[in-house]
C-alpha cells in the first residue's frame, strides 16, 4: 500500500496549509476533503436542495463530478462538473451551511468512496475530519491538529484581510465554535481524534514549525 498521511482537526486549525506544504515537500498528492464537502454544498444550493435525504440528492450524488486541478504551481483549483468553484466554496453562504450537508450519511458515503478512489495508487496527504478514523483508518501516519479558538479566529481574520475582506473577530469565533460543535456532535463520522493519532497543538507554532514536526515524524517512521 502507498503511504497515507492523515491530518484531521477542527476548522482553521492550520490543517490545510500544513497538509499542502507537507504534500509539496514529500512529493505526495494533497487531498483536501473539506473542499469536496464544500463543492457538494455549492451543488445542492444551486439546485435548492435542503440538507435532508431526498431522491434528488441521491441523483445529484450519483452524477457528482468533482475534480482537483493540479496543473501549474499555484493553488489547487476545485472543479465542479468542469467549472472552477474554488472561490464559491469558501463563501460565507457555504460556510454557514456546509456542516448541515456534510452531516448527511448519503453525502459522506459518496465522498468517502471518491476520496479512497482518488488516493488509489498514490502517496497522499489527506486532510479532513474523519480521515484517520473512517477514510483511511490504516494510514501509517495520523495527526490531529488543534489550536485555541481565539488563535484560529485570528488566523481566519488575517486570511480574510489579506484577501481584502474585513472581518470581526468575535463573529469569527462564534462561527468557528458553531461549526466545531456541529462537526463534533453529528451522528455520522464526527470529528474525533483517532486513538493512534498524534495531537499537535499549533496555537504557539508557526506554519514552518508545524510542517517541520509533521515531516520529521513521517520521515522518522518511514525510515
Single out the residue of 18, 102, 133, 210 in contact with ligand DC (rule: CB under 6 A): 102
Considering the complex, what minimum distance in angstroms separates the CB of residue 77 from ligand DC?
A: 15
The three cell numbers locating residue 62: 450519483
Pick from 20, 30, 110, 129 the residue near ligand DC by CB under 6 A.
Answer: 129
Is the CB of 29 or the CB of 130 nearer to ligand DC? 130
Sorted by sequence, the CB contacts under 8 Å of residue 103 that are 6+ apart come out as 51, 182, 186, 187, 188
Give the DSSP letter of residue 33.
H
Task: Confirm or reject binding of residue 183 to ligand DC (CB under 6 A).
Answer: yes
- Contact between 122 and 4 (Cβ < 8 Å): no
Site string for ligand DC, 79-98 (x = CB under 6 A): -------------------x
To ligand DC, the closest distance from the beta carbon of 223 in angstroms equals 29
DSSP, res 218: H
CB of 180 to ligand DC, least distance (A): 9
9-68: which residues touch ligand DC (CB under 6 A)?
11, 33-34, 37-38
Residues in the chain: 223
Provide the minimum distance between the beta carbon of 1 and ligand DC in the complex, in angstroms, as a whole number. Answer: 20
Task: Please count the residues of this chain forming the interface with ligand DC, following the rule CB under 6 A.
Answer: 13
Instruction: Write the CB contacts of 4 (distance below 8 Å, at least 6 apart in sequence).
Output: 119, 123, 124, 126, 136, 138, 139, 140, 141
Distances (CA, A) of 198 to 84, 100, 143, 159, 213: 35, 28, 5, 26, 11
99 binds ligand DC, rule: CB under 6 A: yes
Beta strands across the sheet bearing 83-84: 66-69, 77-80, 83-84
Question: Shortest gap between Cβ of 179 and ligand DC (angstroms)?
Answer: 5
Counting contacts by CB under 6 A, is residue 130 touching ligand DC? yes
- Would you state the cell numbers that stand for residue 204, as one nine-digit string? 504557539
Select from 124-132, 149-157, 199-207, 215-223 the region that touches ligand DC (CB under 6 A).
Answer: 124-132
> What is the C-alpha to C-alpha distance for residues 30 and 16, in angstroms, rounded to an integer?
9
If the CB atoms of residues 99 and 210 are measured against ligand DC, the closer one turns out to be: 99
The stretch near ligand DC (CB under 6 A) out of 50-58, 123-131, 156-164, 203-211 is: 123-131
Tell me which residues touch ligand DC (CB under 6 A).
11, 33-34, 37-38, 98-99, 102, 128-130, 179, 183
Amino acid at each position: 500500500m502507498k503511504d497515507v498521511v492523515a491530518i484531521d482537526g477542527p476548522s482553521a486549525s492550520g490543517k490545510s496549509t500544513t497538509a499542502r506544504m507537507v504534500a509539496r515537500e514529500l512529493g505526495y498528492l494533497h487531498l483536501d476533503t473539506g473542499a469536496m464537502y464544500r463543492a457538494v454544498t455549492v451543488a445542492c444550493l444551486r439546485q435548492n436542495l435542503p440538507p435532508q435525504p431526498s431522491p434528488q440528492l441521491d441523483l445529484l450524488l450519483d452524477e457528482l463530478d468533482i475534480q482537483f486541478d493540479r496543473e501549474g504551481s499555484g493553488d489547487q483549483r476545485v472543479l465542479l462538473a468542469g467549472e472552477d468553484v474554488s472561490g464559491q466554496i469558501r463563501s460565507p453562504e457555504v460556510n454557514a451551511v456546509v456542516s448541515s450537508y456534510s452531516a448527511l450519511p448519503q453525502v459522506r458515503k459518496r465522498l468517502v468512496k471518491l476520496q479512497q478512489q482518488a488516493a488509489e495508487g498514490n502517496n497522499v496527504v489527506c486532510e479532513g475530519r474523519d480521515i484517520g478514523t473512517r477514510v483511511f483508518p490504516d494510514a501509517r501516519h495520523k495527526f490531529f491538529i488543534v489550536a485555541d479558538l481565539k488563535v484560529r479566529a485570528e488566523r481566519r481574520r488575517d486570511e480574510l484581510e489579506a484577501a481584502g475582506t474585513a472581518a470581526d473577530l468575535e463573529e469569527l469565533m462564534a462561527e468557528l465554535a458553531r461549526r466545531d460543535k456541529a462537526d463534533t456532535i453529528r451522528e455520522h463520522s464526527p470529528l474525533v481524534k483517532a486513538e493512534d493519532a498524534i495531537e499537535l497543538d499549533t496555537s504557539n507554532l508557526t506554519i514552518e514549525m508545524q510542517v517541520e514536526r509533521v515531516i520529521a515524524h513521517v520521515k522518522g517512521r518511514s525510515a
